[in-house]
Amino acid sequence: MCGIVGYIGKRKALPILLNGLKRLEYRGYDSAGVITLDQKNFFIEKEVGKIKNLEEKINKEFGEVDRIDGNVGIAHTRWATHGESSVKNAHPHKDCSGKFWLVHNGIIENYNELKSFLEKRGHKFISDTDTEVLAHLVEENYQGNLLKALETALKKVEGTYGIVLVSKNEPDKLIVARKGSPLLIGVGKDEIIVASDVSAIISYTDKVVYLNDGEIAEIKKDNFKIFNNIKKEEVAKKINKITWDIKEIEKSGFDHFMLKEIFEQKEVFLNAIKGRLLFSEGKAKLGGLDLVADKIRKIKRLIIIGCGSAYNAGVVGEYLIENLAGIPVELEYASEFRYRNSVLEDGVAILAISQSGETADTLAAIREAKEKGVLTLGIVNVVGSTISREVDAGIYNHAGPEISVASTKVFMSQVAVLVLMALYLGRQRKMSLSQGREIIDELQNLPKKIDKVLTLNDEIKKIAQKYFSMKNFAFLGRTYNEPLAFEGALKLKELSYIHAEGFPSGEMKHGPIAMIDKNFPCFFIAPNDSVFKKNLSNMEEIKSRQGKIIAISNKKDKKLEKIIDDLIIIPKTKEYLNPILALIPLQLFAYHMAVLNKKDVDKPRNLAKSVTVE
């Protein structure tokens, strides 16, 4: 982990590689490195910290980056898994001879055994990483064919990888391989760019080929060949066209990508529902599910799996689907699913939620479910991602690229798609035509209401100014807003590094209330809904212990205003749609808390956008 870029073509590689790495900064990283090859001469540089540190180091030592020769190269941003963040552990890594260099995303699980074997064979290691064994394995198995050397090396490897390899011995090619960690090939005119994410190549080409697990490719400047590493046969691949442009990954005048993405949520919501609402029939049209429509009608129990914010969105989906469609729903952390002996009887389906479509834990859970013959469905944002290809059927979010590491607009789109899914399933079962039309009518009203919530930004910033020095927070909600308590706490933790916990409001008195005092504020999501009075009672319990209270509600209420310290009023909507509106103040609060605490909002420490390791 985390970002890979490779280039081969007629242009100087270094500026393209560095630009590609900058496009991947949002993924999170702790060091960066680059290597270019000019016939048989390598230029190599690595540095800890931000890419700008690497660029400054190159400029200081060698002059401007465009003065460095070499039309072939690879680059990497590392998120540490084995070994601390340091120059020696930064990628690329080499073999003993210095002829073979590679970058790698993923984890080599048996690297200790491989390292021991290679050391006995006389290989000398200089890093603490698992990746370095790959370079030595290539050296060990090289017999004049770089592709074959990597193929043979990978037979000994257990784990996951996205690899790009370059060698002095064959300077006119890149070798790439994938298993469990995304890689794609961007096809330009007389040049090819390899990357772990499409955002690294969009400046140069809109034509892309996605590698599948078990595939290995030999890439030259004007052609490429892809092989199935198991079947040992060449694979014909479709060239896909990227449908978004570079403007979507620019800040467009906002101070941070996260703020821009929060303010994009009206459009994101519209994109999620566009063309999917059939008012006359009171139902949702989800074309991605058509191939398995008969199986979906027979679902008796649904298990939703996800990690982080995707899991929290799934909890919203649990309430929606159970209440609107009458199907029993369970939530599972994807990271735990395959380690449990879950009972998967006939009629069970798995719904996987993933922003990137590459989340390793979620992908492993899907494969476990498929092994047991279970119907697998997906909600994914990235077209062509592994999860989107491996599930039996799925729905795209259409949220566009999300650059900030902490999810905002994709979470919004996930909830929107889950509403559509509840409508889709509900109309197959107990939901009446009139209720379906009622839901559609309110969904079509929500974009204007989202706009109104976004006008509260300055007000929410003022509230954050009152609390940014606090060290602890509790977030509370009931029914549909319970998962928003989890998400609000997660956002504050991710961005500000402030301790925060989410609870169902009624659980506060069963232990957590022991923490409450004047320095431990509570943030309630408390619209005027079926459990409003229950939330008021829970607030009284906090207030009697001198706890400070911030509340999101959709109605001014005298009893509420007597108890709380700060109130955020959002527009009214149906109870089951309230999370779509209440979500935004939580995101804005976390954002302003992070800015006031001078944190790196878009790239929080220790986090990665796409978690492709277990």
Q: Catalytic positions, please? A: 2, 609
The token pair at 489 is 């706490």
CA gap 380, 359 in Å, rounded = 10
> Which amino acid belongs to residue 464?
A
Strand order in the sheet with 499-504: 499-504, 472-477, 522-525, 549-553, 566-569
Which runs of E-coded beta strand occur in 287-418? 301-306, 329-333, 348-354, 375-380, 393-396
Work out whether the CA dihedral 358, 361, 367, 372 comes out positive or negative.
Answer: negative
Can you spell out the DSSP letters for 490-514?
A: HHHHHHH--EEEEEEGGGTTTTGGG
Query: Phi/psi at 16 (nearest 5 deg)?
Result: -70, -40
Kindly state the tokens that stand for 549: 């209270």
Report helix, strand or coil for 609: coil
d(CA 268, CA 451) in angstroms, rounded, equals: 12
Return the closest-CA partner of residue 325 out of 421, 439, 415: 421
CA end-to-end span of the chain, whole Å?
A: 11
**331 vs 403: CA distance, rounded Å:** 27
User: Sign of the CA dihedral 150, 153, 156, 162?
Assistant: negative
Give the CA diameter of the chain.
81
Per the listing, tokens 């467009």 go with: 252
Q: Which residues pair with 524 in a beta bridge?
A: 476, 551
Which tokens belong to 356? 């990137």
C-alpha closest to that of 199 among 381, 403, 49, 29: 403
The SS3 of residue 97 is: coil
Q: How far is Cα of residue 337 from the mean position of the Cα atoms in its chain?
A: 19
Please give the backbone phi and psi of residue 239, each rounded to the nearest 5 degrees, phi first. Answer: -90, 120
Query: Is residue 585 reached through a cis peptide bond, with omega within 30 degrees of 0 on the bond before it?
Result: no
Which runs of E-coded beta strand occur in 289-442?
Answer: 301-306, 329-333, 348-354, 375-380, 393-396
Interhelix angle 482-496/578-596, nearest 10 degrees:
20
Q: Return the residue matching tokens 């002059």.
A: 63
For residue 566, the cross-strand partners are 550
State the Cα–Cα distance between residues 467 and 548, nearest whole angstrom: 10
